A = this chain, B = another copy of it.
Amino acid sequence: MSMSEPIPIVGGTGALGAGLALHWARAGVPIVLGSRSAERAEEAASKLRAAVPDAKVEGLLNQEAAKRAKIVFLTVPFRAQSENLNNLREALEPGQILVDCTVPLAAAVSGKATRSLGVWQGSAAQQAQEMVPDGVAVVAALHTVGAPTLADPDAELDEDVLVCGDRKADKARVARLIELIPGLRAVNAGPLEMARIVEQLTPLLISVNGRYKAHTGIRLTGLPDGDHWA
């Protein structure tokens, strides 16, 4: 992918989306922030321009944002995932990659953020794969990167991102974008069904964070050095 192709973030006005946008904008990548409201999308874009003066950023309706590049990030809470995927049905086209960052926290139904909901398909990512148009591939990633850490312009990231998907080439393209953010290493965590496990890491980290008053991330030790995606 050309580095001049933007990164559209559906739900880009939320905490995770805004945090990712901040880091990608700093890395010089054009960003398209999507929202259900064009006005809120433009507000978020203005905020990002204020934080990163040379940011190339637009704010658009989610459906418009999703048409702007081959790889689209979905960073909405689980409560809103199905609604957003329904809204994207006419926008997404075969050949696109949807990067689902959704975590089925029990908080979605007023339960605890340290517990999760069972998703019939096995994981939120597999639900997404069922809901996107034919020919759109879902890759699951970024569940364990904390929005507060991402939003803190002074925080140094130091963690892995476990990437699940059924085609290595798709995961490699997503990994390149993730690794534009300093301190993040993308690890191939296997087929999309492994999102059943990876999505569960978030309530685990939320639980540890509360206990230790910390912002934790995941790191796999023992991996070989060098580019994992070549």
Which residues in A have some Cβ–Cβ distance to B below 8 Å? 114-116, 149, 158-159, 162, 187-190, 193-194, 196-198, 200-201, 203-205, 207-208, 211-224, 228
- The docked-state distance in angstroms from the alpha carbon of A142 to that of B195 is 22
Q: Are A205 and B220 in contact (CB under 8 A)?
A: yes
Identical subunits present: 2
Instruction: Say whether chain A's binding surface is mostly helix, strand, loop, or mixed.
Output: mixed
B211 adjacent to A222 (CB under 8 Å): no
Question: Given A158-B221, A218-B220, are A187 and B208 neighbors across the interface (CB < 8 Å)?
Answer: yes
Q: What CA separation (Å) do A160 and B207 show in the bound complex? A: 16
The 9 closest A-B CB pairs, nearest first, are A219-B219, A216-B222, A190-B207, A217-B221, A197-B200, A216-B220, A197-B204, A158-B221, A159-B221
Residues of chain B within 8 A (CB-CB) of A115 are 193
Docked-complex contact A208 and B220, CB < 8 angstroms: yes
- Are A222 and B158 in contact, with the CB atoms below 8 A? yes
Q: In whole Å, how far is A105's beta carbon from the nearest beta carbon of chain B?
A: 12
From the candidates B187, B205, B208, B222, name the one contacting A215 in the complex (CB within 8 A): B222
Q: Which residue of B lies closest to A209 (CB)?
A: B222
A166 to chain B, nearest CB (A): 13
Cβ contacts under 8 Å, A228 to chain B: 212
